[in-house]
Amino acid sequence: MTAARRTFLTGLVVFVIGLALWLFGLDIEIVVFTPSKVGVVMMVLGAIEAAYGLYRMARGERAERG
């Protein structure tokens, strides 16, 4: 598995975990943090990482062609 694909898949996993925290952690409150807010942050970071992985995959394909 290439590094770009691994970055993309890692971003998707982080996004899905963040989505689960956001959906199922709305009524839970822990002293230090709120799971729903942490879930939103994880979704944003996961989306950025997945987009970067897609960029690297597209960039790698263009480098191979030309």
* Separation between Cα atoms, residue 15 and residue 36, nearest integer Å: 13
The rounded mean pLDDT for the chain is: 89
- At 48-63, the pLDDT tens digits run 999 999 999 998 866 5
Measured in degrees and rounded to the nearest 5, phi and psi for residue 44 equal -65, -45
**Is residue 26 predicted with pLDDT exceeding 90?**
no
pTM of the model: 0.84
Confidence of residue 64 (pLDDT cuts 50, 70, 90): low
Helix (H) or strand (E) holding 35: helix 35-65
pLDDT band at 11 (very low <50, low <70, confident <90, very high): very high
CA distance linking residue 3 with residue 32, whole number of Å: 35
